[in-house]
Structure 1
Amino acid sequence: MYYEQARNFIYRNARPLDIARWKYLFENGSKEEVLIALSAYQNEDGGFGNALEPDYWNPNSSPVQTWVATEIIKEINFNDKNHPIIQGILNYLSSGKGFDGHTWLNTVTTNNDYPHAPWWHFETSQEISYNPTACFIGFILKFADENSKIFELACVLAKEAYSYFKINFPMESMHTVSCFVELYEYIKESSINELLDIEEFNTLLHKQIKHVITYDTSRWAVDYVCKPSLFIGTKTSDFYMQNKEICDYECEFILNTQESDGTWRITWSWTDYPEQWNSSKNWWKSDLIIKNMRYIKAIRS
């Protein structure tokens, strides 16, 4: 049941982008179809907006919505440094918009002008956050020209980020931890892994992941909690073997909690904009279907 019902929901309800992602991941679709759909969310400054992240409908470019675009690029394993979408993102990150000299902002002022979840509301005082900055650092190190100013900046920021990670270890924010896992993975696959002590980073991340995963699995179906799939997407992950039991359990959990329409329960909500939330909830259902199916395919294969 799980595949056909999930597929039917995607084709009946998903955005063109998510249909393209589904087709690429499970039906031999093309990367180009995903990129064409993704480009509809990109603005002239190279950043992304327009509710690419379904929890806020800000049409203006923002760091978090741009980060979502980088996640989709990673999902389809796209590596063309010269592609207009990649170059646009690098231009946006180079522009200084939403950047304080050390981190990119987690929320931006224009969020407040459009429907959004309460956690994306802009407040004048923001705590330092490496969500999504740690991911951007890795993205720049992978895609930017090594002679460019943005690449040089990313090398400096990588050391700052790692220092912050060690000072604040262990962290409690699962999303920030996931950004540091991605930074580790970007650096590990690059030719510049001498930037950081990659072995030490690996050791700390093993401990950090175990610290933040929610092991009380009775909460998984009803609360917004931390599951291993946030950090571990394949059996080749450096963090799979030490977390194999809970990763395998998540596969069984996914299979056992699918609803009759092919979806999985969304465990968060926002109430200020009920009409927009109804649409966003549907978009999240499609996104969760794709992520759950991708996880099952990767871990059970």
Structure 2
Amino acid sequence: MEYEQARSFIYKNARPLDIARWKYLFENGSKEDILTALIAYQNEDGGFGNALEPDCWNPNSSPVQTWVATKIIKEIDLKDKNHQVIQGILNYLSSGKDFDGHTWSNTVVTNNDYPHASWWNFEPNEQISYNPTACFIGFILKFADKNSKLFELACVLAKEAYSYFKVHFPMESMHSVSCFVELYEYIKEISMNDFLDMEEFSSLLHKQIQKVVTYDKSKWAVDYVCKPSLFISAKTSDFYLENKEICDYECEFILNTQESDGTWGITWSWTDYPEQWSISKNWWKSDLIIKNIRYIKAMYR
């Protein structure tokens, strides 16, 4: 792997947030530098916007952009429940904004007012989606006060989400599946194993992951496909051993497809807003560098 080229690209092209993530993950940098950069994307209501998700330049808070913040919190294993970033997210989630009583919206109407990829376009009467709701449920169960109404709500929502998962099994959407994997991991982490039938949940997720992973490897370099790293980030994952062969192949794929500037190809694009897309594409390249190198290090550890 061309590590130095990747590092050089990050330092020349990445956002301050992603430079801080790179330093923390690979150069003994600090969590606080990441959190300082992350707070710049947080709004007064506690939610996140401002193109934290690079395919959506909406400055207003939205569930999906807020979910990206929870992923970064998970990446750095932030445990301080009282940190302003975590408390802000909990305030946003408890406010009822972008929430219909059962799920948080996948898209919001203000997305349409700013540059964005077509898949973040708001359409009235959007279908029910547990992306990112299933992740938020897990986040709340982990970080909210156990005596709060928000925690009580999350307990109800978790059972609703799991019922939905079973009724709609197997799902076609890889992103919805990844959110249910996150929910499973949150519940397992906080030892609420008697809350849902975790043995059944695990069994269904094993089957579900194998249903949505793209096994036609000829598509991996040219199409937006589902790779195992969407669900499995380390050998410690409950889903690694059963998917070891395809995980190992992804390592080979990563090592064999790095470009001369240290990046990997982005296999999606926007049809509108070409100027903004050219900027977002660089942001995605930086994010993909971090994800790929982290995956390789985790798998070869």
**TM-score tier (shorter):** over 0.9
Q: Distance in 1 between matches of 2:34 and 2:28?
A: 12
| Structure 1 residue 230 corresponds to structure 2 residue 242 | no
Q: Distance in 1 between matches of 2:236 and 2:211?
A: 21
Q: Report how far residue 185 of structure 1 moved.
A: 0.2
Q: Distance in 1 between matches of 2:11 and 2:164?
A: 43
Gaps of 5+ in 1: none
Aligned partner of 1:156 in structure 2 is 156
Aligned partner of 2:34 in structure 1 is 34
Worse overlay, 113-122 or 188-197: 188-197
Aligned partner of 1:106 in structure 2 is 106
Aligned partner of 1:240 in structure 2 is 240
- The CA deviation string for residues 254-295 of structure 1, in whole angstroms up to 9 with x for no partner, is 000000010000000002100000000000000000000000
Q: Distance in 1 between matches of 2:191 and 2:231?
A: 22
- The CA deviation string for residues 14-67 of structure 1, in whole angstroms up to 9 with x for no partner, is 000000000000000011110000000000000000000000100000000000
Q: Report how far residue 191 of structure 1 moved.
A: 3.3
Q: Distance in 2 between matches of 1:125 and 1:166?
A: 23
Superposed counterparts of 1:131-280, under 5 Å: 131-280=131-280
Q: Secondary structure of the residue that 1:194 maps to in structure 2?
A: coil
Q: How many residues align?
A: 301
TM normalised by structure 2 equals: 0.99
For 1:89, the aligned partner's letter is I
For 1:16, the aligned partner's letter is P
Q: Secondary structure of the residue that 1:195 maps to in structure 2?
A: coil
Aligned partner of 1:14 in structure 2 is 14
Q: Distance in 2 between matches of 1:2 and 1:131?
A: 34
For 1:291, the aligned partner's letter is K
- The CA deviation string for residues 186-225 of structure 1, in whole angstroms up to 9 with x for no partner, is 0011132222100000000000000100001110000000
Aligned partner of 2:85 in structure 1 is 85
- The CA deviation string for residues 235-258 of structure 1, in whole angstroms up to 9 with x for no partner, is 000000000010011001000000
Q: Distance in 1 between matches of 2:251 and 2:8?
A: 21
Q: Distance in 1 between matches of 2:238 and 2:271?
A: 39
Aligned partner of 1:95 in structure 2 is 95
For 1:123, the aligned partner's letter is E
For 1:216, the aligned partner's letter is D
Aligned Cα RMSD in Å?
Answer: 0.6
| Structure 1 residue 124 corresponds to structure 2 residue 120 | no
Aligned partner of 1:76 in structure 2 is 76
Q: Distance in 2 between matches of 1:236 and 1:195?
A: 22
For 1:56, the aligned partner's letter is C
Aligned partner of 1:5 in structure 2 is 5
Q: Secondary structure of the residue that 2:162 maps to in structure 1?
A: helix
Worse overlay, 191-200 or 43-52: 191-200
Aligned partner of 2:54 in structure 1 is 54
Task: Tell me which stretches of 4 or more aligned residues in structure 1 moved more than 2 Å.
Answer: none
Aligned partner of 2:67 in structure 1 is 67
TM normalised by structure 1 equals: 0.99
For 2:235, the aligned partner's letter is K
- The CA deviation string for residues 125-183 of structure 1, in whole angstroms up to 9 with x for no partner, is 10000000000000000000000000000000000000000000000100000000000
For 1:277, the aligned partner's letter is W
Q: Report how far residue 300 of structure 1 moved.
A: 1.1
Q: Distance in 2 between matches of 1:249 and 1:272?
A: 34
Percent of aligned positions that are identical: 83
Aligned partner of 1:24 in structure 2 is 24
| Structure 1 residue 115 corresponds to structure 2 residue 115 | yes
For 2:246, the aligned partner's letter is I
- The CA deviation string for residues 67-86 of structure 1, in whole angstroms up to 9 with x for no partner, is 00000000111111000000
Q: Secondary structure of the residue that 1:142 maps to in structure 2?
A: helix
For 1:214, the aligned partner's letter is T
- The CA deviation string for residues 63-122 of structure 1, in whole angstroms up to 9 with x for no partner, is 000000000000111111000000000000000000000000000000000000000000
Aligned partner of 1:43 in structure 2 is 43
